[in-house]
């Protein structure tokens, strides 16, 4: 009889211990599940876009150009004799001028309109498509004291109107030559140097990051990217 009582007590204690163990496990798991469920997920896309937009106008490239514009003209006698055209240079009829021009050209990228449309990504790789850059002529200066002229005795000096015209031609030549430089590639590389460290902090490896423009720019495209107002302002100085 005593053995039966002891056996029943042991069985009851075993069942009670099992119930308490299950209750403890159940209570211990619920807070963790609740915390996991309520913990907000970080929207890395929104964070990324916001950080890139903070770059605002990112000046990426600067070119300093020194150009000497030369003009050489000759006084010639032209006409027709016996049905033949003639063109005879006049002795001591030459004029020459050399005009030094210094200009500073900058490229910048405006990230004000940057959005998630500029981003393509998967679990490991990310590609940032940059907005089209802008090119500005930030300064243009003629060193009037360094202008060199040679005028023959039979010729008059260059007029202010002529010198102004030659100066304008020099600026226009500088603008055209922008298309032959690597300004677009330099703008892309400079932007990458700013954006890659930012993307690394978000967990992307440098070799899995691509920074590019939406297209390859031709010389004609580059000319259209130049802010014409800066060119006009430079002409007035």
The residues that bridge with 142 in the sheet, in sequence order, are: 101
Residue 164, pLDDT score: 85
Same-domain status, 1 and 116:
no
- The per-residue pLDDT of the chain, averaged, comes to 77
The rounded percent of the chain whose pLDDT value lies above 70 is 70
For 15, the domain range is 1-39
Cβ neighbour number for residue 103 with a 10 Å cutoff: 22
pTM above 0.75, yes or no: no
**87 and 9 assigned to the same domain:** no
Q: How many CB atoms lie within 10 A of CB 70?
A: 12
**Contact present, 85 and 79 (Cβ < 8 Å):** yes
What is the three-class DSSP state of 11?
helix
Is the pLDDT assigned to residue 134 strictly greater than 70?
Answer: yes
> Are 64 and 130 part of one and the same domain?
yes
| 24 and 101 belong to one structural domain | no
pLDDT digits (tens, 9 = 90+) for 173-227: 888 888 888 999 999 999 999 999 989 988 899 999 999 999 988 888 898 888 8
70 backbone dihedrals φ, ψ, rounded to 5°: -115, 145
Q: Are residues 108 and 202 in the same domain?
A: yes
Q: Which of 77, 75, 109, 86 is nearest to 186 (CA)?
A: 109
Task: Provide the number of structural domains found in the chain.
Answer: 2
């Amino acid at each position: 009889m005593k053995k039966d009582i002891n056996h029943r007590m042991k069985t009851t204690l075993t069942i009670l211990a099992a119930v308490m163990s299950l209750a403890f496990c159940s209570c211990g798991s619920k807070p963790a599940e609740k915390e996991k469920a309520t913990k907000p997920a970080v929207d890395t896309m929104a964070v990324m876009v916001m950080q890139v937009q903070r770059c605002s106008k990112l000046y990426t490239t600067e070119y300093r150009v020194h150009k000497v514009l030369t003009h050489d003209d000759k006084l010639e006698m032209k006409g027709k004799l016996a049905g033949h055209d003639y063109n005879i240079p006049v002795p001591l009829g030459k004029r020459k001028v050399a005009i030094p021009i210094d200009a500073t050209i900058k490229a910048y990228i405006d990230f004000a309109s940057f959005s998630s449309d500029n981003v393509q990504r998967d679990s490991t790789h990310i590609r940032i498509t940059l907005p089209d850059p802008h090119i500005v002529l930030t300064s243009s200066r003629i060193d009037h004291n360094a202008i060199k002229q040679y005028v023959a005795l039979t010729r008059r000096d260059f007029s202010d109107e002529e010198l102004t015209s030659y100066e304008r031609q020099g600026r226009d030549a500088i603008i055209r030559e922008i298309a032959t430089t690597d300004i677009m590639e330099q703008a892309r590389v400079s932007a990458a140097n700013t954006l890659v460290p930012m993307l690394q902090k978000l967990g992307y490896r440098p070799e899995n990051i691509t920074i590019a423009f939406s297209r390859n720019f031709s010389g004609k495209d580059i000319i259209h990217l130049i802010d014409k107002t800066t060119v006009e302002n430079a002409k007035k100085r």
